[in-house]
Amino acid sequence: MSDQKRPTWDLSGETHPATLPTDQLDADTSLQEAIAAKVGYDRYNDVTTVLGAALDYAAECMSDALAELAFRARDLRPVTAQRSDSGWHAFWEPGPSKATIDLVLAHETAPGGWHVSLRFRPVMTEAANRREAEIEARIEAANPNWTAIDRVLASISPRGGDPNTADLKKLRENPESYRPATPGDKLDRVYGTALDLGASGWRGVGPGGKPRDVEEFAHARQFLPVKAYGESWWNGIQLEMRPVSSYRRHEGMLVPGISRSGACPQIPARILSDLIRSTGLAPLVARQREVTGALPWISHGSDRGVALEEAGHAMVHAAGGFFDPSVDRRLTEFWAGIAAQDVERHLKDWFNLAPELAAAGYGFADREFSCNDGRDLAQAVLTSSTP
């Protein structure tokens, strides 16, 4: 671990830890420190923390390249795909929002596909900008005593009987007030949804079916063609990546977003990484990685949580800002390490419990019992081995 003094940040007078800049960290050392932490709880949720930090870091490094990938796909129109060296094809799929570019990923030989939705921050047309300024001037003239908070509330919901606030809200909610996403616009977030491509693949590519190795897969074929976007959760969602926006920065530190990724976000993140490298966009990632590596991230957890976040950041930094096999290897190593700790913590109780279960008749496959929420089943099996 670096000897650099750990940065901190202030929240209402309380001092909280932040991560060290990632270019000061060694990936394997950070990983071992995260595994070796002594805790008094089962650590399975720590995987979510490490993976979430890795995705945050990758989102920051890959955002410019992902945006360029999206604009290239749109320029190629739906019939022409960008192709990765590993056989993934990325097709543009027209969608309902000017600020969003939707891609469908299909593999030449592997089953299933992915819907990747790249959502840019909406930008008003020049005419809508002028109209907005006119309405805001009228609101200020009619309500000279309003505070800044009053104006924000008025922009969300009309108030005070002023018809101008309703006009402003209507203008901002009108899709025609915004131009299409354009190179240079900021990428707001990326969603990856697992797709069942049915029996025929997509635009002549792939064998169809569902993607392999996706946990908690739910049928998501209704995304194609893309007619509407989900607001909070939808069938098949696995990935959410959120580059850090200008308002999510705190005294020179990056602020992680709140992700709703599914059980296997590393799968689409790995595919997108491969597409970026294969299409010559890796220099954009390298440039952003250099900037990101010099900055700390604030942490909402304890010192223990900071170590987990540093491990996630460092493994992606070491991979050049991408998700690649080295990230998978380190994630697997972390999972194995903390699983060993959890097993060791409970092993004595399990050995005491096993004879009791067997004596109660739960020693056979046809006498499995529910041990969690109805989806997880167990049975006791006695052997001659001793702990």
Domain residue spans in the chain? 8-119+182-335, 126-177
pTM for the model stands at 0.89
- The CB density around residue 73, as the number of other CB atoms within 10 Å, is 25
By the 8 A CB rule, do 312 and 277 touch?
no
CA distances from 49 to 19, 42, 45 (A): 13, 14, 7
Q: How far apart are CA 293 and CA 28, in angstroms?
A: 16
Contact between 153 and 79 (Cβ < 8 Å): no
pLDDT tens sequence for the chain (387 residues): 445 688 998 888 889 899 999 999 999 999 999 999 888 888 989 999 999 999 999 999 999 999 999 999 999 999 899 999 999 999 999 999 999 999 999 999 999 999 999 999 999 999 999 999 999 899 889 888 888 888 788 777 766 667 888 899 899 999 999 999 999 999 999 999 999 998 889 999 999 999 999 987 767 777 788 888 887 788 889 999 999 987 778 778 999 988 788 889 999 999 999 999 999 999 999 999 999 999 999 998 777 889 999 999 999 999 999 999 999 999 999 999 999 999 998 899 888 888 888 888 877 767 766 666 655 656 666 555 444
User: According to DSSP H, which parts of the chain are helical?
Assistant: 27-36, 46-76, 126-142, 148-156, 163-173, 266-278, 282-293, 303-318, 325-359
CB 123 within 8 A of CB 194: no
Q: How much is the pLDDT for 383? A: 58
Q: How many beta carbons lie within 10 A of that of residue 238, not counting itself?
A: 24
Q: What pLDDT score was predicted for residue 189?
A: 95
Angle between helices 325-359 and 27-36 (to 10 degrees): 20
